[in-house]
Structure formats: C-alpha cells, structure tokens
Homo-oligomer: A and B are copies of this chain.
Amino acid sequence: MQNGNHANAPLNPGLVFEMLSAHQRTAALKAAIDLDVFRAVGDGPGDVASIARDCAASERGIRILCDFLCISGVLTKEGGLYKHTPTSATFLDPRSPACIASIAQFMSRPEMREPYEHLAEVVRRGHTSLPGDGTVEPENPVWVTFAEKMAPMMAPMAGPLGAVVLEGFKGPMRVLDIAAGHGLFGIEVAKQNPEANVTGLDWAPVLRVAMDNARRAGVQDRYGMLPGSAFEVDFNGPYDAVLLTNFLHHFDVTTCVKLLKKVHDSLRPGGRAATLEFVPNEDRISPPMPAAFSMTMLTSTAAGDAYTLSELTAMYREAGFKGMTVHPIPMSPHTIVMGAA
C-alpha cells in the first residue's frame, strides 16, 4: 500500500504493472500459510530442498514462492538459505504467540473475495454484490470465521481498549459488548476489572466462540450471552459501559445513529460507549490502511463506510452523547472513540 497523495511520484509505468500484479502477493502469502512454509523456514536450515520436503511440495514451486516472499518482505535470503524477517518470525511463524496467519482464512472467504471478481459492477450499483445486505445479513456464518480467525489480529488492541474504557472506573460494573465476535474486548474488561460483569451480544454461533475464549481467560462466571441482532434484542440495561468494536462501519449514518441512541438509552448517566474503528483522516485517503477499509465496506455491505472522526463524533452527538474523546491505538490502524451518556 502506498501513502496518500502521490502528485510528485516519479513517472513510472511500473506502478500500473505492479497494481495489476498485486493479486499475486495475496495468493503467495495465502499459499505459503496453507503449505506451512513459515513453520518450515523457522525449523531451518532453510534450503529449498528441506523446505520442499517439509511442505510436501516441489522444489521449483518452493524456490519461486520463497523468492517471491523475499521480494514481498516476509522472508529473507542469506547465502541461498531462506530465513525469517522479524515480521514473518513474529506474525507468520505458527510457533509465535503473536502469529496472525489465521486471518488469511477469514480474508480469503468467498464472501470477502467474490465481489472483487466483478468490482466494476459493484461500483456501478454502489453496494455489495452479495445477497441482501451482504455480510451483515442475519446469522451470516462469516462472523463465526471472523471470531475464530481474526482474534489474533484483534488481541493486541484489547489491552489498550480495556484501559481506555475503565479509566477512572472502579468496582462493580455492567458492560455490554455489542457484536462481541471473539469476545476479546469484553473479556479484557473483565480481566482488568475483577468486579465487571460482561454481556456479549452477537449471533448465537458466534457467541459460542466468545464463551470459549471467556473460559480460556477464566472469566466465564462473569460472562453472559445475549444472542441476536443488536437492532432487535432488548439490551437489558442499564450498563456502565457499552463496547461497539468493528461494528458501525457496516451501516449507513442513519442506522449508526439509531443504534447509538439505543446504546445511549441503555447506559446509566455518565456511562460510556466506546467504538473501535478504522478512522481515516478527513481527506479519506490517509492513512492508507484505515482509508482503504472503505473498499471492504463497499464490496461487502449495502451502505457501510470507514467513517472519519468528524462523522463519528457527529453521530455520537446526534445520539445524545457528550464529552467525546479520541484514542488512536499505537502501532495499529484502529482508533477508539468514546462518548459519555
């Protein structure tokens, strides 16, 4: 991904060729993960023959794939031996506790890939080519995969989110985690405050993943489940805090405001709502990752978007919130926006 405006970039047809070839980078990383190449490289010694044997693959295929991964920055090559880069050692070797390789399973799901096969038509129509409202159709199974596979990428953000939500709060509290998914955000609040009771809201099969994670974290006794649609179920407030992580971007502004009003009504006075979002700058073309996320919303939803800070705070205000604060999460493309009821 390049950075923002490029008016001064050197004249280069290579950029056009590179963009039209960029799909190869996705396929190469997915193939390497599926073949367990990053484990084999970690095992060493890193020559083509050993990796090919470990991965039950051809030497020609492994040599070309590993060279391609070097070019892409997720392996390196020294004296003919492939080695991890710090990035691949940390995020792609399955033995690393920070490994996020599983996100490839979510990101390559048919729902996430199919609209790109006819993106011109999606742009013409202005909404996803998936049936109905796309990934936000009721009970869409894509969210079970999200809960299972995207958790490692979201986990590092749970700590900062918990700290922001709990700042200045002590003692017994009730927390609602809307679109809980893997549940890691609510679970983190329960870990940081041993007197917090957390309710996860999501489709029932998704909540089973969250409850597994709650058990693993030892907070299952303080973790409740509220299965269903955030727009339809009774929230059963009042709450001290409501989490809305990676959720608002799926909907248009009117729908977001409606939901935020419902959240506002479920909070005790002074209670907090915290959203975790990709928040692009007002120019909508920087920083690259949050800004590019709009494309995912175009292809997978009817009317979602990556909202700017001014849009998010306007929604909060319209829903009755005040005292909005903004907390970018370091080393991540995500930002927490919080408002008080």
Q: Do the beta carbons of A91 and B60 come within 8 Å of each other?
A: no
In the complex formed, the residue of B with least CB distance to A2 is: B73
A91-113 with Cβ < 8 A to chain B: 91-92, 98, 100-101, 103-104, 107-108, 113
Q: Do the beta carbons of A91 and B18 come within 8 Å of each other?
A: no
Q: Any chain B CB within 8 A of the CB of A28?
A: yes
Shortest A49–chain B CB gap in Å is 13
Residues A11 and B87 in contact in the complex (CB < 8 Å), given A20-B26, A23-B26, A126-B61: yes
Q: Do the beta carbons of A120 and B30 come within 8 Å of each other?
A: yes
**Count, chain A residues at interface, CB 8 A:** 95
Q: Is the interface of A mostly helix, strand, loop or mixed?
A: helix
Q: Do the beta carbons of A125 and B26 come within 8 Å of each other?
A: no
Q: Do the beta carbons of B20 and A108 come within 8 Å of each other?
A: yes
Residues A15 and B87 in contact in the complex (CB < 8 Å), given A67-B291, A125-B58: yes
Chain B residues within an 8 Å CB radius of A262: none
Q: Do the beta carbons of B126 and A77 come within 8 Å of each other?
A: no
Q: Any chain B CB within 8 A of the CB of A127?
A: yes
A124-178 with Cβ < 8 A to chain B: 124-127, 153, 156
* Mask of A278-321 contacts with B, CB within 8 angstroms, 1/0: 00000111101101101111100001010000000000000000
Q: Do the beta carbons of A100 and B13 come within 8 Å of each other?
A: yes
The residue that A20 contacts in the complex, of B70, B77, B104, B127, with Cβ under 8 A, is: B104
Chain B residues within an 8 Å CB radius of A21: 1, 26, 107, 292, 296
Q: Do the beta carbons of A103 and B295 come within 8 Å of each other?
A: no
Shortest A310–chain B CB gap in Å is 14
Q: Any chain B CB within 8 A of the CB of A74?
A: yes
The residue that A298 contacts in the complex, of B3, B64, B91, B296, with Cβ under 8 A, is: B64
Q: Do the beta carbons of B56 and A292 come within 8 Å of each other?
A: no
Interface centre among A68, A91, A103 (most CB of B within 10 A): A68
Shortest A103–chain B CB gap in Å is 7
Q: Any chain B CB within 8 A of the CB of A76?
A: yes
Q: Any chain B CB within 8 A of the CB of A230?
A: no
Q: Any chain B CB within 8 A of the CB of A71?
A: yes
Interface centre among A4, A16, A107, A116 (most CB of B within 10 A): A16
Q: Do the beta carbons of A120 and B31 come within 8 Å of each other?
A: yes
Q: Do the beta carbons of A68 and B24 come within 8 Å of each other?
A: no
A233 to B315, CA, bound (A): 72
Q: Any chain B CB within 8 A of the CB of A194?
A: no
Residues A22 and B16 in contact in the complex (CB < 8 Å), given A61-B298, A71-B285, A291-B71: no
In the complex formed, the residue of B with least CB distance to A62 is: B123
Shortest A94–chain B CB gap in Å is 13
Query: A21-B292, A61-B123 are known contacts; what are 12 more A-B pairs with Cβ within 8 Å?
Result: A4-B70, A9-B85, A13-B153, A14-B333, A27-B119, A31-B120, A34-B120, A58-B124, A61-B124, A63-B284, A71-B286, A77-B285
18 A-B residue pairs with Cβ-Cβ distance under 8 Å, sorted by A, are: A1-B72, A7-B83, A9-B73, A13-B91, A14-B333, A17-B289, A20-B26, A22-B26, A23-B26, A23-B113, A24-B116, A30-B119, A35-B123, A35-B124, A58-B125, A65-B295, A71-B292, A77-B284
